[in-house]
Structures are given as C-alpha cells and as structure tokens.
Amino acid sequence: MSFQEDCARFGDELARLVDAGMPVKEAAVVIGIPRQRCYAILRAINRPAGKPRDKNAILDHALIVSTFAPTGSISRAAKASRVAHSVARRILVDAGLVPAEKLKRAGKPEAKRKFLELIDAG
C-alpha cells in the first residue's frame, strides 16, 4: 500500500485516537501499522504528535540561575525553563556559575591502559 493510501485510510482514525489522549505507540497497535509509520502519517496530515517547541520563548535567566544554584544540575535548570541543555549552560557560563570549558572525563585513558595491561598479564 502506498503512503498516500495509508494517509487516506488511517489518517482520520489515527488523529482521532491521538486527540483522545492515546499514545501513538498504542494507537499504532490498535490500527495495526508500525509506530514510525503512524508518526509519518500524522506529520503528513499536519497533525504532528508531541508539543511543538516555542520559537519565540523568552529566556528567563533568573529562573535558570535560581534552579541551578541549589541543585547544581544544568539539566534541571534547562527543564525548569523549557530550554535546551546547551542554552542553559551558556547562560550559566555567562553568569560565572559554570566553567566555559566542559569537564573532561578524568582517568579514562589511564584506566583503559591499566585494564589492557591486566588483560595482557592474565
């Protein structure tokens, strides 16, 4: 079956199920088509699943800083202000709360070298 036929055949029913609050994963099982095909159909009929990102979001620097201060978590600050991790990190760097260069994983190359030596030793 072609994609256009799938859109015509399943589009309305799929949109109705998703609008009723059913997750796309469950709607795919009910309809009997793959989950990714359901997402493609929803996009094709201009009914994308999920919440669209707000392109005109106003950055709340104070919220990001106030969320980061007690927790020390950039991810929590990003989620609280509904921005990407990289955006929250940039704001925290500008505020002087986070170093500009990302932390490197300490000891990885040395640990790998020791591990390989132990394997060679038996």
Per-residue pLDDT reduced to its tens digit, 87-121: 999 999 999 999 988 776 666 788 888 888 999 98
pLDDT digit string (tens) for 30-48? 999 999 999 999 999 988 7
Alpha helices (H) in the chain, listed in sequence order = 3-19, 24-31, 35-44, 61-71, 74-81, 85-94, 108-121
Q: Would the pLDDT of 26 be above 90?
A: yes
d(Cα 81, Cα 88) in Å, to the nearest integer?
8
Domain coordinates of the chain in residue numbers? 3-44, 54-122
Q: What is the pLDDT of residue 10?
A: 92
pLDDT of residue 62: 92
Residue pLDDT, tens place only, 51-79: 666 666 678 899 999 999 998 999 999 99
So what's the pLDDT on residue 30? Answer: 94
CB atoms within 10 A of CB 17: 19
CA distances from 52 to 30, 38, 79, 102, 110 (A): 25, 17, 15, 29, 44
Q: What is the pLDDT of residue 27?
A: 93
Per the listing, tokens 């994609």 go with 3
